[in-house]
């Protein structure tokens, strides 16, 4: 029986992401920042960024849709590092346990190409603990599209049935399962430990 490989999502699994923090110098309160994010449909905008759109094109698109209301977005790229300063509690300890067991680790992340280097700067281990990372913004593919999972499998010679995928998004978990990958929805490090132990990985 082949040794199981574990494929991690990154945002909200290993790294907390709080986009409102990027606009703390623009709005007087967090509530105001969050209300603005909602008004400009920030998460929909950001998903297109994660799919490979450049920041310049994204800013232009936001201004076309929202006019001057989109102006605070201009500072988002520069402020991005503050949005990912906090690791998810306990998650990196799970990584360490898996590495100690010599479990092959991989990652698939919906992450913009232009902000990915900032993640590597903030968390240098990202470049060391994973044998391969598929970054959506670089690949021009997004979870839960089947092609992004297949890309990781194909370029690493992995069989879907020999992999376990960990993601906080139910849609992404279901996307992996549709390809025959065992998948765990991440709700916390303790729950992940138990799920991996139940599968005999830890």
Give 15's DSSP letter: B
Element (H, E) at 92: helix 91-100
**Token pair in block for residue 130:** 């994973």
Parallel, antiparallel, or unpaired: how do β-strands 163-167 and 133-135 relate? Answer: unpaired
Q: Would you write out the chain's pLDDT as a tens digit for each of its 202 residues?
A: 568 999 999 999 999 999 999 999 999 999 999 999 999 999 999 999 999 999 999 999 999 999 999 999 999 999 999 999 999 999 999 999 999 999 999 999 999 999 999 999 999 999 999 999 999 999 999 999 999 999 999 999 999 999 999 999 999 999 999 999 999 999 999 999 999 999 999 9
Rg for the chain, CA atoms, rounded: 18
Predicted local distance difference test score (pLDDT) of residue 1: 52
Residue 184 CA from chain centroid, whole number: 15
Residues present in the chain in total: 202
List all residues 6 or more positions away from 138 whose beta carbon is below 8 Å from its beta carbon: 52, 113, 116
- Considering the segment(s) 5-16+85-199 as one domain, its CATH architecture is 3-Layer(aba) Sandwich (3.40)
What's the whole-model pTM score? 0.97
Residue 169 CA from chain centroid, whole number: 10
Place of tokens 């490090």: 189
93 close to 189: Cβ distance less than 8 angstroms: yes
């Amino acid at each position: 029986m082949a040794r199981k490989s574990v494929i991690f999502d990154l945002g909200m699994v290993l790294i907390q992401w709080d986009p409102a923090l990027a606009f703390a110098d623009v709005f007087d309160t967090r509530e105001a920042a969050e209300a603005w994010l909602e008004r400009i449909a920030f998460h929909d905008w950001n998903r297109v960024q994660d799919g490979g759109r450049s920041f310049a094109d994204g800013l232009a698109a936001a201004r076309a849709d929202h006019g001057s209301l989109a102006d605070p977005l201009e500072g988002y790229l520069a402020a991005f590092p503050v949005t990912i300063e906090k690791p998810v509690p306990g998650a990196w300890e799970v990584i360490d346990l898996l590495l100690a067991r010599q479990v092959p680790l991989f990652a698939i992340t919906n992450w913009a190409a232009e902000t990915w280097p900032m993640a590597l700067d903030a968390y240098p281990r990202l470049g060391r603990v994973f044998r391969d990372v598929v970054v959506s913004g670089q690949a021009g593919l997004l979870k839960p599209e089947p092609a992004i999972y297949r890309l990781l499998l194909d370029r690493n010679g992995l069989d879907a049935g020999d992999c376990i995928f960990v993601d906080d998004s139910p849609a992404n978990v279901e996307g992996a399962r549709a390809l025959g990958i065992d998948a765990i929805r991440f709700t916390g490090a303790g729950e992940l430990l138990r799920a991996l132990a139940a599968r005999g990985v830890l």
